[in-house]
Every structure is written in structure tokens, then in C-alpha cells.
Structure 1
């Protein structure tokens, strides 16, 4: 196993570049950090191309054997790779998976949600609720961004997540499509759960693109009984996903 002691090492520089979305898109690779995320990637059969470890003994030997190449690093190198103040000391370069999306029956559609915490929470909830696909409109936060990965708690590896044109996807989807809107919408608890559905959520400030809302089966809202102006999109999406699942 190669020992890397300098952050200027070419492999470390290449891995560090993957912190940028443009580089992830270009290479089809992503950098993940932490014992839990690496373990979830391993359990989901995600290809681990490189594994960087401060203390190899703290990581399951099955994961070490599974990775294509392994490197021992020091704290200084870990700090260069990490986006956190106190790095855990485990990093992996993974190959982003590709998916067949044609058979999905319960789908979350996301129109330009930009807060990483919101997107990660929605991915985690969609996983918990048993949905089988998430489709992101261009302009949505990247699911392989560090903050999204951490908020998802590894759920990003548990179900297909793709970026696609929502208009095109909605036109071909065989099922009911529920939008979320404040006006001209039915209270969600007046709608029965269905087997085949897509739930459309929108940008934190602007909501869903009106052109997309015009193509839905039914638009829903969540009644506000107190003085709050609205619900956070991740909370609203979570309530609606579980309601539609029944």
C-alpha cells in the first residue's frame, strides 16, 4: 500500500479537484468522506476506485479489499481532502452510477432546489419512504456535493438520482403527477394515496416553474394553521411523500 505524505501528490490533487461539480460532471467520479458514507457506498455496490485512509485498522477489511487501490495518508493530506474542520481520515473516489429510469413508479421531481441541506434531507426521506427514483432539473444542487451527501446520510447511494429535463420526463411518466403550489391547489389531505405517482417540488424562493405546474394532474398545498408563512420545502416534501405512499 502506497504511503502519501504530501498534499501536492498528483493523486491527492486529482481527488481534490472532485470537490468541484464541473470536474465531477466531466469525469463521472465523486469524492466522498467519512466511514459511514464509504460503508454505504460499499453496501450499494458503488465502484470505489481509490481509498485514502489515515488509520486502515478502523475501516472494515472487506471495504479495503473491495477498493481498487488503497493509500495510507497523514492528517495534513486528510485536511487537504476534507471539507470539514476535523476530518474523519477516510476518503474515497467513487464512480457515479448510471440507472435505468424507465420502470420507476414512485418518483420525486425536484425543480431547482439549491440548499444542500434541503436536497439531502429530501433524498433521505425519499429513501425512507421507499420511492424508486429522484429526477433533478438542471440548476438543482448536486447530489454528490459534500453537504448534500452528509445530509442524505448515505441515501444518495440507495436509490437512482438523475438529472433530466422535467418537462420531458413528466410527458412520458405513466401515473399521476402532483405539483406543490400555494394558489389554485387542493389541500393534500383531500387526495387519496396512489400506486403510481410523481411529486414535484420547487425552488426555495420561487417555487415550482409555472410551466411545469400547468402539466400536473393535481396541485397540492399543506394548510397552515398557525402564523408561519410557509413550510420549509424539505419538511413539506416529506409530509407529502408519506401521505401519497399511504
Structure 2
């Protein structure tokens, strides 16, 4: 039983709230029953489980190193206002190649909730890979992980230079779709190809000009009311499900 927030182990866990520590150690912290169960049922490596003294661990937890902690210790390492009593330390996975026929590329998505929701939707819509470009929030940010609802453990997500990936996709016969209001066609008027890379941009600035110039098609979503634009995660959902429905026929 760990009872003090000054315990060296607790200090290590608390440091994982910082990106530089997550990058240095190659691990990150997740919290909540659902996320820990999703990590356990995936091929990701759980190195430690942390639980409040009153939490009833499932039988499968016996295969991991487990630490019981007091309520105040658990609260000090977690980010949620009402923690569920279980957390885990998970080792990062390295994904080096994008495989499949449907890829989502994100150019500078900065809001953690947006990124997590987009990853969750990409998983639900059957996309194969999500690639995070420069300026995109850290995948292992606590709010991103929680917003994915476990989809981060079931979908290939990688970071990299979007320009390089676009070049590789074009050579492999992919169409490249970007999203912008300028010089764009309505997405419903464009035939969905079998091999497609969809690119969405920053919440305020959109897709960068240098990437827009490399697109095969630039698509937009019709606005029937007075709103000028949609939240990027909503736009991502509309487009990904349209693509999924079109390629499933």
C-alpha cells in the first residue's frame, strides 16, 4: 500500500503528465475501467496497474505488477475530477508504415478533445490509419486518450511529415482529398475512390496552403443554416462515414 504522495513511485507517475517525460520514458498513464480493459484486450503492453484500496481488481490483473494506493495518492496522479479507482502505465507503440486503403491525415489539430474524438470516429468508420502532422497535439495527452474511448488501442496512429506521406500515397495510386471552402466541390458530388487519403486541418487556419496544393480534390460540406463552418471533429465524422458508406457498396 502506497500512502504518501512523496513516494518515489508516485513522483514517477505524476511526471507522466508532462509530454517530455512521456517521450523520454516511452510510457504514458491511462485511467478508468474501460480504458484499462481496452488496453488489456489489445496488443499494447501494460507495465503497471495502480488502483485505489477500495477498488476490486478483475482476475486478469494478476498477470501485471499492481500497486494499491490511498485515495489521496490516486487523485494526485490522475486528471479527472471523479476518478474511477484504476489506472495503468502503458508502453508506447511505434507504427512505421501506413497500410490499408483509407487513411486520415491531420494537419495541426490542436484541441485534445477534437483529436480523441476524430480517432474514435476513424476507428468506428473503418479507417486504417491516422497520421498526425506537425502542430498536432500529442497523442498521449491525457484528454486525447480519454476522448478516444479506447480506439487508440485498436487503430494504427502515427506521427510524421504529411508531405512525405502524401508523396508516398500518390505513388501508390491514392487520391488525396483536402477540406477547404475555397475552390472546392461538395463531397457528395465527388466519386469516392478505392484508395483515399483524407486531410483535415487546424481548427482555425484549416489545411495549410502547401498541403492544399498537393490535393487531388478539395471538398466541402454544404451549410444549410447561417453557421460559417463546422467543428473539425464533426466534419471529420461526416466525411469519413460518407467515404465508408461509399466504399462498402
Maintained 8 Å contact 1:222/1:236: yes
Does the alignment pair 1:65 with 2:70? no
Post-superposition offset of 1:66 = 3.2
Q: Which runs of 5+ in 2 are unaligned?
A: none
Match of 1:166 in 2: 162
CA distance in 1, matches of 2:126, 2:96: 17
Aligned length, in residue pairs:
242
Q: Alpha carbon RMSD of aligned pairs, Å?
A: 1.3
Which of 32, 36, 39 in structure 2 is aligned with 1:38?
A: 36
Stretch deviating more after TM superposition (129-138 or 84-93): 84-93
Which of 101, 113, 117 in structure 1 is aligned with 2:113?
A: 117
Stretch deviating more after TM superposition (193-202 or 97-106): 97-106
Runs of 4 or more consecutive aligned structure 1 residues displaced over 3 Å after TM superposition: none
Maintained 8 Å contact 2:55/2:86: no
Match of 2:10 in 1: 12
Post-superposition offset of 1:197 = 0.8
Alignment of 1:92-131 (within 5 A): 92-131=88-127
- Partner secondary structure for residue 53 of structure 1: strand
- Partner secondary structure for residue 4 of structure 1: coil
TM-score of the superposed pair, with normalisation by structure 2: 0.93
Match of 2:211 in 1: 212
- Partner secondary structure for residue 205 of structure 2: coil
Q: Deviations over 1:10-67 (max 9, x none)?
A: 11111111111111112111011111111111111211111111147633211x1232
Match of 1:240 in 2: 239
Maintained 8 Å contact 2:46/2:88: yes
CA distance in 2, matches of 1:55, 1:217: 56
Post-superposition offset of 1:138 = 2.2
TM-score of the superposed pair, with normalisation by structure 1: 0.95
CA distance in 2, matches of 1:55, 1:99: 36
